[in-house]
Amino acid sequence: MSKSYGSGAAQVDALRSVDLTVERGDYLAIMGQSGSGKSTLMHILGCLDVPTSGSYRIGGADVSQLTEAALAEVRNRRVGFVFQQFHLLPRISAVRNVELPLIYGGMHPRAARRERAEEALAIVGLEDRLSHRPTELSGGQQQRVAIARALVTDPDILLADEPTGNLASDQATELLSIFDTVHDAGRTVVLITHDPDVARRARRQVRIRDGQIVSDVNKPA
Amino acid sequence: MSWLELFRGALDSLLERRSRSILTVLGLLIGIAAVILTVGLGEGAQAQVGSAISALGTNMLIVTPGSVSTAGVSGGLGSASTLTLADASALSNATDCPQISQVAPVSQHTASLAAGTNTWTAPVVGTTPSYLAIRDRQVVLGQPFTAGEVQAQAHVALIGTEVVQNLFPSSRTIGRTITINGVPFSVTGELNPAGSSANANEDNLVIIPISVAESLFGSRGPYAQSLSQILLSATGPTTMSAAYQEADSLLLELHQLPTPAAADFTITPQTSLLATASSVSKTMTVLLGGIAAIALLVGGIGVMNIMLVSVSERVQEIGLRKALGATPGVILRQFLIEASLLGLGGGVLGVGLGVGGSLLVPSLLHAPIVISLPAVVGAVVVAVGIGLCFGVYPAARAARLSPIEALRSA
Ligand SMILES: Nc1ncnc2c1ncn2[C@@H]1O[C@H](COP(=O)(O)OP(=O)(O)O)[C@@H](O)[C@H]1O
Ligand SMILES: [Mg+2]
């Protein structure tokens, strides 16, 4: 598949004929320079954007054939997405941010939702920051709220765009062990990183340059 | 996602943006209240003018000497004092004028009054007992004079409340004597308070028999009894124009005038006064309504601004909500409920303020006010419509974007 932004002279080809298959239960690290198209690829994998040409299939279903409602359900149930810029709602508390996907998933009752969101925040070590607003949290803490929000629906696929970029190294290590746990539970994990140490924990390392995959290495188990 | 959840989410979202919500509600509220109050004031003034005119007497026609349309011609005929007692008694002939029920000749002059050491100046009306019926005046103390007393040229007088206050500040009036231009009269009755009409103070008034007025104010011989007016009343509101026709043709005949254009008198139906006055106050209502509509428009533009300013922030929020699994339908319903709640809040408070203000205004401004249902409904519909359009339309557009497109927009 390919993805380009704009048109005419201003056209940017962010992805050029990328062919990638991610197996269920894979643990994938995507690496590449800034502007190489990593985030663009990730957004398409998470059904947040669509390729300009070519196709993307998730669980055998062609995403371009899905209705808006079906896409919403895929985003809600199957994918947990951690944005590079976190994208938390600034005016509501951490626990209510984490609750949002459960609300859209139709989970009842409220108390059960709240409990589940609190559990997810406990996993990322924020059990004592439940009612803080994102603006009252540090960058690393916001990052972890975003990860709790991605994990709270127990998705098949966890996608994380530079999740350790804002963290001190001991926090990063803690976080990576969370990803390891998620992967060990049979989930598919895809993360973007610059850090070779982080990439080394993944089972498969994909390098991307100028919108093309230049290497795809499976670490021997 | 259930409606209850949506409702709760919309309410939370409004509370999170407390100042924006308050400003929006305030904009709607002020616009709606302004419309209700200004239209109410206009309609109140219209109703007041209407009732002031009908208080002058119902079904009344006023015949005055001289012609408005042919003033030059009638002046050329040598006299503007063309109405006589003979005219009045001819008009009261039931066979010639079946649609005219009552006739009152009026001879009015300003005179100096005195009672003991008190003196006063007031219009003195010489007339017959029919005057009271036609003008809808009552004698609240004592008795009106009778047709027999008119015949007998009795020196009796009915006095208005302002005359009472000035001549008899602290004593009874009935049976006492006043002098009019030095001639003694016995007070037989007091008139009801009637306030001021369009052109006269109805309480500063003395009424005496027409037969006495003739000699009191010096007529110029038996033929030239000049009257100020002849008041007529029609048998009912629907016979006003028939009565007008009867009076017009009879007077033309009596005055030996060949065409209506030559008329040396003018007949003014009370309805035409009413029509003129109510068209004036209708113009006023339209003017006030226009001002109110502008107030509503300004309020609406304020609301629109507040909503559009926050829309880029909201577009990102929509992108995020979609990324977390919200369908476009859920997004749309959330914004619809938010805008409806704002519209409802502004509408209810605006109607409350407008109606509450309408109840207070009469005592504060001494102006009557009418709560106009079309104004209330129209203002609410327009204000809520503005809220819905500018609250929901941008959201509906954003809900169609992909989550990333929406998140990127700033
Ligand atoms: N919405 C957009 N409009 C135009 N160009 C874009 C947009 N998003 C990304 N790009 C361009 O596409 C390329 C890839 O971007 P991105 O996927 O964000 O790279 P990375 O995440 O690897 O840094 C860059 O050149 C970037 O400038
Ligand atoms: Mg990126």
Per-residue pLDDT of chain B (410 residues; tens, 9 = 90+): 778 888 888 888 888 888 888 988 888 888 888 888 888 888 888 777 777 766 666 688 899 887 654 444 444 343 445 788 888 888 888 788 888 989 999 998 899 999 989 999 999 999 999 999 888 888 999 999 999 999 999 999 999 999 999 999 888 889 999 999 999 999 999 999 877 665 678 889 999 999 898 888 875 444 345 788 899 988 877 788 888 889 998 988 888 888 877 788 888 887 666 677 767 777 877 887 788 788 778 777 877 777 777 776 789 999 999 999 999 999 988 888 888 888 888 889 999 999 998 888 888 877 778 888 888 888 888 877 887 887 788 888 888 889 999 998 86
Q: Is the CB of A36 under 6 A from ligand 1?
A: yes
* Beta-carbon count within 10 A of B401 CB: 17
Q: Is the CB of A7 under 6 A from ligand 1?
A: no
Q: What is the DSSP letter of B67?
A: -
Instruction: Decide which of A221 and A147 is more confident.
Output: A147
Task: Indicate whether A47 pLDDT > 90.
Answer: yes
Chain-centre distance for alpha carbon A17: 22
Give the atom of ligand 1 at the shortest distance from the alpha carbon of A208: 22
* Beta-carbon count within 10 A of B173 CB: 19
Alpha helices (H) along B152-269: 161-167, 210-216, 240-254
Q: Is the CB of A6 under 6 A from ligand 1?
A: yes
* Cβ pair A100:B327 closer than 8 A: no
The Cα of A89 is separated from the nearest Cα of chain B by a number of Å equal to 7
Task: Identify the CA nearest to A149 among candidates B121, B45, B323, B356.
Answer: B323
pLDDT at B220: 46
User: With an 8 Å Cβ cutoff, is A73 touching chain B?
Assistant: yes
User: With an 8 Å Cβ cutoff, is B17 touching chain A?
Assistant: yes
Alpha helices (H) along B230-372: 240-254, 270-309, 311-323, 328-365
Phi and psi torsions of B398, nearest 5°? -65, -30
Domain parsing of chain B, residue ranges: 3-52+276-409, 81-263
Evaluate whether A113 touches A107 at the Cβ level (below 8 Å): yes
Mutate to test the interface with B, among A86, A91, A149 (most CBs of B within 10 A): A91
* Cβ pair B325:A91 closer than 8 A: no
Q: Is the CB of A11 under 6 A from ligand 1?
A: no
The widest CA-to-CA distance across chain A, in whole angstroms, is 54
Evaluate whether B267 touches B248 at the Cβ level (below 8 Å): yes
pLDDT at B274: 66
Dihedral-angle region of residue B57 (phi above 0 means left; psi in -120 to 50 means alpha; beta otherwise): left
Instruction: Among A49, A92, A105, select the one facing B325 at the smallest CB separation.
Output: A105
Tell me how far the alpha carbon of residue A118 lies from the centroid of ligand 2, in angstroms. 29
Q: Which domains does chain A have, with CATH numbers?
A: 1-78+155-221 (3.40.50.300), 88-154 (no CATH)
* Cβ pair B16:A91 closer than 8 A: yes
Q: Is the whole model's pTM more than 0.80, yes or no? A: no
> Six-digit token pair at A143?
């990052």
* Cβ pair A104:B330 closer than 8 A: yes
- CA-CA-CA-CA torsion sign (B303, B309, B313, B315): positive
pLDDT at B76: 37
pLDDT at A131: 95
Strands (E), A63-211: 79-82, 157-161, 188-192, 204-209
Average pLDDT rounded to a whole number, residues A135-153: 93
Integer angstrom CA distances of residue B339 from B19, B300, B315, B333, B346? 15, 13, 15, 10, 10
- What does the angle CA B23 – CA B27 – CA B33 come to, to the nearest 5 degrees? 135
Tell me how far the alpha carbon of residue A161 lies from the centroid of ligand 1, in angstroms. 13
Mutating to test ligand 1, I would choose from A3, A4, A5, A159 the residue with most ligand atoms within 8 A of its C-beta, which is A5
Q: Which residues of B touch A50 (CB under 8 A)?
A: 402
Mutate to test the interface with B, among A104, A108, A153, A157 (most CBs of B within 10 A): A104
Q: Which residue of A has its CA nearest to B401?
A: A49
Place of tokens 């746990």: A181
Chain-centre distance for alpha carbon A150: 7
Instruction: Among A48, A103, A149, select the one facing B5 at the smallest CB separation.
Output: A103
- What gap in Å lies between CA B150 and CA B209, rounded to an integer? 5
Give the atom of ligand 1 at the shortest distance from the alpha carbon of A161: 21
The Cα of B301 is separated from the nearest Cα of chain A by a number of Å equal to 26
Q: Which residues of B touch A73 (CB under 8 A)?
A: 325
In this prediction the ipTM stands at 0.94
pLDDT at B121: 93
pLDDT at B55: 64
Evaluate whether A15 touches A41 at the Cβ level (below 8 Å): yes
Average model confidence (pLDDT) for chain A? 92
Instruction: Among B16, B324, B405, select the one facing A104 at the smallest CB separation.
Output: B324
Q: Which residues of B touch A83 (CB under 8 A)?
A: 323, 407
pLDDT at B272: 66
Instruction: Decide which of A180 and B72 is more confident.
Output: A180
Task: Identify the CA nearest to B24 among candidates B350, B397, B404, B410.
Answer: B350
